Structure 1
Amino acid sequence: MVGYQTIATVPIYMDIANSTWLWLATVPVVLVVLLQAGLFLQRAWKNGNEMGLSDEQLKTGLKTGVISAIGPAVAVLAGMLALIATVGGPVAWMRLSVIGSVAFELPAAELGVSQFGYSLGDDGISEQAYATAVWSMTLGGTGWLLVSALGTPHMEKVRQRIGGGKEKLIPIISSAAMLGAFAYFLTGEVTAGTPETGSVAAGGLAMLGLLQVADKKDVQWIREWALGIAMVVGLAVGIIIQLSIGSLW
């Protein structure tokens, strides 16, 4: 009796996607991002001291920022796992270090390979199709970077002009802009399906409850951890709904 063993085949292009040379090519990009983060942190700390903030206040702000980054980092990490399986480790690492949006990277890669008649996950994807996918991801993301680089220096003037020179309106305008940005990102998720709706609702209720407890009890650490905890709660609820009942719409 002869036994047969099925051996899982790896697409040919993955040899290039996970090659040493591609790892070396992506390292400088990630190092630039880390350097920018370090320089920004250093400058923010220096400017904070010049504004009269104490080291204790700056440490509290730093700790709050680190905690608030936990939720988005978990989401990006989960998306990176999906991206690694389709475009390889180096490109996934580099792209999500620069942009951090799996919602853009996967469709861009799909658009690239589709020009050769493939779809992500197909075994026969050629090296040319893979290269096109990487170029689609890279060139497609340059628009955001250019807008940020060219437009950000003028945003303060715009904010001051909207405020009409009234200093009391500036914090209100800034808060409204932040709420508008969060609302813009949430509107697409709320109607995407039951897990997404439940995730948004649970995260919002968790944030509201934590802030109320922090205000009533005057507990600073709850304020610092509120956003990170709310994001994790939202992610957990979304996963539970997806695994239990799936999407109802």
Structure 2
Amino acid sequence: MWFASVPVVIVVLLQAGLFLRRAWDVGGDVGLSDEQLKSGLRTGVISAIGPAIAVLAGMLALIATVGGPIAWMRLSVIGSVAFELPAAELGLAQFGYGLGDSGITEQAYATAVWSMILGGTGWLLVSALGTPYMETARQKIGGNNENLIPIISSAAMLGAFAYFLTGEIPAGTPETGSVAAGGLVMLGLLRLADERDIQWLREWALGTAMVVGLFVGLAIQLTIGSWW
């Protein structure tokens, strides 16, 4: 299983390296300085810390069912914990098993793995076939007005975050507290960074807000639990 999973992860790492190299080259072509490029890279790395903690927690649950190699492979590609865990559980449920159960049969194991793999092909196809047309669509929405394009991009990003949050806020008190704490920390850090012009604080703001929100939600869950 390790030999089967390693090539997939290697492809993902190669893709990440190629995208990073192209982004760096194109950044120079459009007039970004080396300092701006380095700042963007640091921001991306720091912002990945929060989601990585959540992925690690989900991976531990997935390892208990499908083992280390498959869990490592699935969570290294475009899939997410929010999908992989329910997909594996759905496959196991067809044979009367659940996540973490012992004595899972080969058929149940194979079904869980195929559920994750086949279920995740949808967004791979959409990304592969639709991405080349996204920039054209964005330009048409903006009416070729260069001033509108950054506004449209920001609105789309805010809409994406809002979509995910609308499912978390009513889920329970820990989720609501986590969202509120993360949002307040993000606003506070960005305001402080703007007032005092602290660039490194801007870079750490998103990652810090995610980690604080994560621990606040955990603390609420362990202390008062969920009120709804």
Scaled to the shorter chain, the TM-score interval is over 0.9
Say whether 1:94 aligns with 2:73. yes
Higher deviation after alignment, 230-239 or 48-57: 48-57
Q: C-alpha distance in 1, partners of 2:51/2:209?
A: 11
Cα-to-partner distance string for 1:187-217 (whole Å, 9 max, x where unaligned): 1011111100000000000000001111111
How far is the alpha carbon of 1:100 from its aligned partner?
4.3
Report if the CA contact (8 A) 2:47-2:206 is conserved: yes
**Match 1:230 to one of 209, 219, 225:** 209
Matched residue SS, 1:81: helix
Say whether 1:177 aligns with 2:153. no
TM-score (norm 2): 0.97
Q: Which runs of 5+ in 1 are unaligned?
A: 1-21
Counterpart of 1:168 in structure 2 is 147
**Match 1:81 to one of 60, 63, 84:** 60
How far is the alpha carbon of 1:144 from its aligned partner?
0.8
Counterpart of 1:158 in structure 2 is 137
Cα-to-partner distance string for 1:33-82 (whole Å, 9 max, x where unaligned): 00000000000000011112111111111111111111111111111111
Q: State, as a whole percentage, how many aligned pairs show the same letter.
A: 82
TM-score (norm 1): 0.89
Higher deviation after alignment, 79-88 or 194-203: 79-88
Q: C-alpha distance in 2, partners of 1:124/1:68?
A: 39
Q: How many residues align?
A: 228
Structural RMSD (CA): 0.9
The amino acid that maps onto 2:46 is: I
Q: Which runs of 5+ in 2 are unaligned?
A: none
**Map 1:51-200 → 2, pairs under 5 A:** 51-200=30-179
Q: C-alpha distance in 2, partners of 1:217/1:100?
A: 39
Matched residue SS, 1:241: helix
The structure with more radius of gyration: 1
Report if the CA contact (8 A) 2:61-2:99 is conserved: no
How far is the alpha carbon of 1:124 from its aligned partner?
3.0
